[in-house]
């Protein structure tokens, strides 16, 4: 089970489902839906990916990762996605942690699967590969995003819960 913590949110994603007031991330199957309850597959990506609706400012409400490294708490984290003509995104990120602020810009190139992107230049970061996949979104309120980074000796996985509404943090 993965547990999200951050910005006043604490919810668990496991057999019991979300325990918060957010909409369910994976709605129950409808009659005739090919997905089965209890299936162990990855959640299906949004087949009708609409990059133009995903662009804009997304606040990171919570993150969890497969690392045992202790990190300082994040007080503010926002990503602004700008859709480019080639369907890739220029992402501007701002992160505030304790008394330090970080800002960086990167380009994410669209892959074959809808909502899946790879970092265009990651060699200087010590990475062999970096991927971002939008697992679920309604384009107006929330997005569940999975980040995978492959270093020389290990693979890192991070899940992020994004909020598009500006009223919670502005």
- State whether residue 53 is helix, strand or coil: helix
What pLDDT shows up at residue 128? 81
In which band, very low, low, confident or very high, does the pLDDT at 81 lie, cut at 50, 70 and 90? very high
What are the distances in angstroms from CA 40 to CA 72, 142, 158? 33, 23, 19
Q: What is the pLDDT of residues 20-64, one digit of tens each?
A: 444 555 455 555 555 444 444 554 554 567 888 999 999 999 888
9-20 in b/e form (b: 16+ CB < 10 A) is eebebeeeeeee
What pLDDT shows up at residue 142? 93
Share of the chain above pLDDT 90, in %: 31
- State whether residue 144 is helix, strand or coil: strand
Instruction: State the chain's mean pLDDT as an integer.
Output: 75
In which band, very low, low, confident or very high, does the pLDDT at 65 lie, cut at 50, 70 and 90? confident
CA 167 to CA 170: how far, in whole Å? 6
Q: What is the pLDDT of residues 115-134, one digit of tens each?
A: 899 988 766 667 788 899 99
């Amino acid at each position: 089970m993965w547990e999200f913590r951050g910005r006043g949110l604490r919810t668990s994603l496991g057999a019991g489902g979300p325990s918060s007031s957010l909409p369910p991330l994976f709605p129950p199957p409808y009659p005739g839906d090919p997905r089965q309850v209890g299936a162990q597959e990855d959640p299906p990506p949004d087949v009708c990916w609409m990059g133009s609706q995903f662009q804009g400012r997304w606040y990171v409400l919570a993150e969890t990762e497969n690392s045992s490294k202790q990190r300082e708490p994040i007080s503010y984290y926002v990503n602004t996605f700008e859709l480019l003509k080639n369907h890739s995104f220029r992402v501007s990120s701002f992160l505030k942690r304790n008394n330090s602020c970080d800002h960086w810009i990167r380009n994410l190139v669209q892959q074959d699967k809808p909502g899946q992107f790879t970092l265009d230049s990651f060699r200087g970061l010590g990475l062999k590969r970096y991927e971002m996949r939008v697992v679920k979104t309604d384009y107006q309120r929330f997005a569940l995003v999975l980040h995978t980074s492959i270093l020389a000796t290990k693979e890192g996985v991070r899940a992020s819960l994004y909020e598009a509404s500006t009223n919670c943090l502005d």
